């Protein structure tokens, strides 16, 4: 057995696998067989007599957990160890010890939508004024605080001195939201981690017990842990420092969600005893693909140097292609897939198409459909997000946890049963006055004077409905669901809608009931509570590995951890990848580069990168320019189908010092783009970029010059980086016309310009957001002539 486990490994891999005691850091490049090492390591531990119940393996996705469980079971069958996501592990702990942080064991887990509702409700109840901050910003701020282990009190204390609109308002919203959650006996995703971290911090005995229990801890994708996760792991590995973490700093693509890459970068500082093992040999990609990835990522400053190598073949050249428009891009890809599959070269499941934003799937889907090519779009949560499903689940939530006000609000008048806004307001007042949950308050509907007879009756009926359903709480979930559908009138409601609008919502209802049946069959413990936890923490994308023979479409984020023989990455354009919202911040920009790195390293044999010259987005067609990342690739060994003059005809190529190397290849006209060279040169020479399409710093100036020269119109304008605006500069605003900058104050996103316009009015603008464009020797009428499409 033991021999089996070790014999198939390389020297380095074996080193990692056999290191059991003491901290271990595994730096695993893409395709380096990391999962293999991790699973073999656990298997090895088990054969060494370590008790499975002392092992805790934490992953980020259910998929990863499932995969590993399966593989371990193949090596060492029948062992039961805890392998799961951080969130499900925390949920389990909280079911047991949640009372320490004020949670009853039937607490609800709110998904992002629910928590948004909850925040909104909390804001309304407290009658807070959001003033200038948007709800989304506040949600983000709270989530961030939680990920960084800052409870509402701590947030209040620490941001007290800061003068910022967002933290100002968040300071008020955060505690109100927290109270709302506790009152509702509910947690959001971030809370799962935060509560556990706080619990471990404040209860040393419990921490100690759990530390003893989980003697061997393993964390996958450690580069994606946030501070809360870090603290949890740390707290559980104090007495026994048998902590092994795996990850790759170059694949950290979730910093925007609070992951702190420093956790992995500084592991050796945290655990000076740590053994470090580097898995650098790649078993996945061809030499050329790996080389492209390596060269790209070497442009990042924030990283651990690492040598990637492979003994795989040289492989086909990586392709870099420019298309006139996303429709052409999509058509060409579909055509190539169709022809290769037809020739029997590959099957559909070998192909994946990656993009930066979900919206880009559209032209691709269109083209694939036209060609009759089966495909699947991987989108995180589809099914459980649908209205009908959420509605019914809310009934279940309310039955399971009567304090769950979010669920209450969702279903109280669904289908309509005469409990309107006015009536609810009265109930809310009552609830607030006597510190009741909404359902409790409803039970006292008769006592609320402001309520009309009719409203009170309706409310009483609703309460009875909930009570009747609650009586069946121990029935199998599918049966309970059927009861909900029938008794609540929701079924009829949906049927009526379907009949009217020719939809199939009923189908979704049935699908949910099926999902419940499935759950009952598969899980040994199928309580209502566990079902609700399951649907909250397990997205349906996890289950879709059924491996049908289809082309796969997904974002690069979703692609992490996967591999495909042939990969297309589309829309590698400036402002898309890197995304425009990452342009101001070098760290964010490096993350975008890592994202492309992840995309590229998914490919085994074929890789095609592409960008377009124009892109229709949100109904508007705009000029697009190639991403700066494309200049960082090993052009010499790639096959480029790009227009004369470089990556873009404007001359950006020469700026990057690559100039003539980027000439159009002779075979370029092959697939029906014959007219496209002239086409683009015209476009680029005559149209200035849209005001909204900012170019990379530096490039921008050149473009401006070229346009100016070619047009002799004497006018050019462009949106600048906030730092580029200066006092005295002439600017233009779509609404107010042109003006002059009188003063500039503030820093970063708060950098603000005071502008005096022609009408003598002075207005202030945040430069990061302001629709201001710089005007070069031109008056406002001329400059506006170019802002139209």
Partner DNA sequence: TATTATCCAATTTTT
Partner DNA sequence: TTGGATAATA
In the residue annotation, 506 being an active-site residue is answered as no
Q: Please state the closest distance from residue 557 (CB atom) to DNA, in A.
A: 4
Look up residue 479 and give its two tokens.
């049966």
Specify the DSSP element, H or E, that contains 320. strand 319-323
Residue 136 binds DNA (CB under 7 A)? yes
Rounded to the nearest 5 degrees, what angle is found at the Cα of 256, between the Cα atoms of 365 and 614?
40
Question: Per-residue x/- mask for DNA, residues 401 to 440, rule CB under 7 A?
Answer: ------------x--x-xxxxxx-----------------
Sign of CA dihedral 651, 656, 660, 661: negative
Pairwise CA distance, residues 600 & 269, whole Å: 31
Q: Give the nearer residue to DNA in terms of CB position, either 317 or 696.
A: 696
Residue 88 binds DNA (CB under 7 A)? yes
Size of the site for DNA (CB under 7 A): 52
Q: Of the listed 251, 281, 704, 717, which one is catalytic? A: 251
Q: Of the listed 111, 220, 224, 533, which one is catalytic? A: 220
Q: Of the listed 34, 594, 614, 774, which one is catalytic? A: 34
Q: Give the nearer residue to DNA in terms of CB position, either 140 or 283.
A: 140
Q: Please state the closest distance from residue 503 (CB atom) to DNA, in A.
A: 13
Q: Of the listed 602, 615, 635, 774, which one is catalytic? A: 602
Per DSSP, helices labelled H in 58-111 are 62-75, 86-97
Helix (H, G, I), strand (E, B) or coil at 599: helix
Residue 555 binds DNA (CB under 7 A)? yes
Binding positions for DNA, 305-324, rule CB under 7 A? none
C-beta neighbour count of 486 within 10 angstroms: 11
What backbone torsions phi and psi does residue 640 show, to the nearest 5 degrees? -110, 130
Binding positions for DNA, 571-600, rule CB under 7 A? 579, 581-582, 588, 595
Residue 70 binds DNA (CB under 7 A)? no
Options 125-133, 338-346, 514-522, 553-561: segment touching DNA (CB under 7 A): 553-561
In the residue annotation, 220 being an active-site residue is answered as yes
Nearest residue to 458 via CA among 447, 442, 469? 442
C-beta neighbour count of 642 within 10 angstroms: 25
In the residue annotation, 678 being an active-site residue is answered as no
Q: Give the nearer residue to DNA in terms of CB position, either 183 or 356.
A: 356
Residue 22 binds DNA (CB under 7 A)? no
Pairwise CA distance, residues 30 & 308, whole Å: 9
559 and 599 in contact (C-beta within 8 Å)?
A: yes
Pairwise CA distance, residues 685 & 682, whole Å: 5
Q: Give the nearer residue to DNA in terms of CB position, either 128 or 588.
A: 588
In sequence order, what are the residues at sequence separation of 6 or more whose Cβ sits closer than 8 angstroms to the Cβ of residue 510? Answer: none
What backbone torsions phi and psi does residue 761 show, to the nearest 5 degrees? -80, 150
Residue 248 binds DNA (CB under 7 A)? no
In sequence order, what are the residues at sequence separation of 6 or more whose Cβ sits closer than 8 angstroms to the Cβ of residue 122? Answer: 173, 176, 177, 179, 180
Look up residue 326 and give its two tokens.
């996303």
Q: Give the nearer residue to DNA in terms of CB position, either 584 or 663.
A: 584
In the residue annotation, 34 being an active-site residue is answered as yes
Pairwise CA distance, residues 493 & 511, whole Å: 17
In the residue annotation, 671 being an active-site residue is answered as no
177 and 119 in contact (C-beta within 8 Å)?
A: yes
Q: Please state the closest distance from residue 259 (CB atom) to DNA, in A.
A: 5
Pairwise CA distance, residues 127 & 111, whole Å: 24
650 and 623 in contact (C-beta within 8 Å)?
A: no
Residue 61 binds DNA (CB under 7 A)? yes
570 and 610 in contact (C-beta within 8 Å)?
A: yes
Q: Please state the closest distance from residue 381 (CB atom) to DNA, in A.
A: 5
Residue 541 binds DNA (CB under 7 A)? yes
Question: Per-residue x/- mask for DNA, residues 445 to 484, rule CB under 7 A?
Answer: ----------x-----------------------------
Options 288-296, 318-326, 554-562, 689-697: segment touching DNA (CB under 7 A): 554-562
Q: Please state the closest distance from residue 524 (CB atom) to DNA, in A.
A: 20
Among 256, 383, 472, 664, binds DNA (CB under 7 A): 256
What does DSSP assign to residue 448?
-
In the residue annotation, 581 being an active-site residue is answered as no
Q: Give the nearer residue to DNA in terms of CB position, either 472 or 616.
A: 616
Among 302, 358, 475, 681, binds DNA (CB under 7 A): 358
Question: Per-residue x/- mask for DNA, residues 601 to 630, rule CB under 7 A?
Answer: -----------------xxx----------
Q: Of the listed 12, 15, 18, 35, which one is catalytic? A: 35
Pairwise CA distance, residues 552 & 549, whole Å: 9
220 and 60 in contact (C-beta within 8 Å)?
A: yes
Q: Please state the closest distance from residue 462 (CB atom) to DNA, in A.
A: 12
What does DSSP assign to residue 696?
P
For the chain, what is the radius of gyration of the CA atoms? 29
Q: Please state the closest distance from residue 443 (CB atom) to DNA, in A.
A: 19
29 and 13 in contact (C-beta within 8 Å)?
A: no
Residue 259 binds DNA (CB under 7 A)? yes
Residue 391 binds DNA (CB under 7 A)? no
Exposed, middle or buried: residue 160 (CB in 10 Å: 0-12, 13-18, 19+)?
exposed
Active site residues: 34-35, 220-221, 251, 602
- Residues of this chain that bind DNA (CB under 7 A): 60-63, 85, 87-88, 112, 116, 120, 134, 136, 189, 221, 224, 254, 256-257, 259, 356-359, 380-381, 413, 416, 418-423, 455, 537-539, 541-542, 554-555, 557-558, 560, 579, 581-582, 588, 595, 618-620
């Amino acid at each position: 057995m033991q021999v089996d486990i070790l014999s198939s490994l390389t020297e380095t891999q074996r080193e990692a696998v056999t290191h059991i005691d003491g901290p271990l850091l595994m730096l695993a490049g893409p395709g380096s067989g990391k999962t293999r090492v991790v699973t073999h390591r656990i298997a090895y531990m088990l054969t060494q007599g370590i008790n499975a119940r002392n092992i805790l393996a934490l992953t980020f996705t259910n998929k990863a957990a499932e995969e590993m469980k399966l593989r371990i079971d193949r090596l060492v069958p029948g062992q039961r160890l805890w392998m799961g996501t951080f969130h499900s592990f925390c949920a389990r702990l909280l079911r047991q010890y949640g009372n320490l942080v004020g949670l009853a064991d039937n607490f609800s887990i709110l998904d992002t939508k629910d928590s948004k509702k909850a925040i909104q409700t909390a804001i309304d109840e407290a009658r807070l004024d959001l003033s200038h901050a948007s709800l989304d910003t506040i949600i983000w701020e709270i989530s961030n605080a939680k990920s960084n282990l800052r409870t509402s009190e701590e947030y209040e204390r620490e941001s007290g001195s800061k003068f910022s609109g967002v933290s100002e308002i968040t300071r008020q919203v955060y505690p109100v939201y927290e109270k709302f959650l506790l009152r509702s006996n509910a947690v959001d995703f971030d809370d799962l981690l935060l509560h556990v971290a706080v619990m471990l911090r404040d209860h040393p005995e419990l921490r100690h017990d759990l530390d003893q229990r989980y003697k061997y801890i393993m964390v996958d994708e450690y580069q994606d842990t946030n501070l809360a996760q870090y603290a949890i792991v740390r707290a559980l590995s104090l007495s026994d420092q048998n902590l092994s973490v795996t990850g790759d700093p170059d694949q950290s693509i979730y910093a925007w969600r609070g992951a702190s890459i420093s956790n992995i970068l500084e592991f050796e500082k945290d655990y000076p005893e740590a053994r470090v093992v580097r898995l650098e040999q790649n078993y996945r990609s061809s030499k050329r693909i790996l080389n492209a990835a390596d060269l790209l990522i070497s442009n990042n400053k924030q990283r651990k140097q690492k040598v990637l190598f492979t003994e795989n073949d040289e492989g086909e050249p990586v392709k870099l292609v420019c298309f006139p428009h996303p429709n052409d891009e999509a058509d060409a890809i579909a055509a190539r897939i169709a022809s290769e599959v037809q020739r029997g070269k590959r099957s559909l499941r070998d192909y994946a198409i990656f993009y930066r934003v979900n919206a880009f799937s559209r032209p691709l889907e269109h083209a694939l459909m036209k060609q009759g090519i089966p495909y699947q779009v991987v989108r995180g949560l589809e099914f459980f997000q649908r209205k009908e499903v959420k509605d019914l689940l809310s009934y279940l939530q309310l039955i399971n946890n009567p304090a769950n006000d979010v669920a209450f609000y969702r279903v109280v008048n669904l289908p309509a049963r005469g409990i309107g806004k006015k009536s609810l307001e009265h109930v809310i007042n009552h609830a607030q006055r006597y510190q009741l949950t909404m359902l409790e308050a409803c039970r006292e509907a008769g006592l609320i004077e402001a309520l009309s007879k009719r409203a009170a009756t309706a409310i009483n009926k609703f309460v009875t409905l909930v009570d009747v359903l609650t009586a069946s709480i121990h029935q199998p979930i599918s049966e309970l669901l059927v009861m909900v559908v029938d008794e609540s009138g929701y079924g009829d409601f949906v049927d009526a809608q379907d009949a009217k609008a020719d939809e199939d919502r009923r189908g979704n209802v049935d699908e949910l009931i099926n999902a419940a049946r499935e759950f009952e069959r598969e899980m040994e413990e199928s309580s209502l509570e566990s079902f609700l936890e399951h649907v909250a923490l397990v997205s349906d994308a996890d289950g879709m590995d059924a491996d049908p023979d289809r082309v796969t479409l997904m974002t690069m984020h979703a692609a992490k951890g996967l591999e495909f023989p042939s990969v297309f990455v589309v829309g590698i354009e400036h402002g898309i990848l890197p995304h425009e919202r990452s342009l101001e911040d070098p760290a964010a920009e490096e993350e975008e580069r890592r994202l492309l790195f992840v995309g590229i390293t998914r490919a085994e044999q074929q890789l095609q990168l592409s960008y377009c010259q124009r892109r229709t987005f949100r109904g508007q067609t705009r000029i697009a320019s190639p991403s700066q990342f494309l200049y960082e690739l090993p052009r010499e060994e790639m096959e480029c189908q790009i227009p004369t003059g470089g990556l873009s005809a404007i001359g950006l190529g020469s700026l990057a010092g690559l100039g003539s190397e980027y000439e159009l290849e002779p075979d370029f006209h092959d697939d029906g783009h014959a007219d496209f060279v002239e086409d683009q040169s015209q476009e680029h020479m005559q149209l200035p970029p849209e005001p909204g399409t900012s170019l990379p710093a530096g490039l921008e100036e050149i473009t401006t010059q070229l346009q100016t020269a070619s047009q002799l119109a004497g006018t050019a304008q462009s949106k600048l980086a906030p730092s580029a605006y200066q006092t005295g500069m002439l600017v233009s605003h779509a609404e107010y016309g042109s003006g002059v900058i009188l003063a500039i104050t503030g820093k970063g996103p708060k950098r603000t310009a005071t502008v005096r316009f022609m009408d003598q009015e002075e207005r202030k603008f945040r430069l990061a957001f302001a629709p201001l464009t710089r005007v070069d020797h031109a008056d406002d009428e001329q400059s506006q002539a170019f802002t139209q499409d």
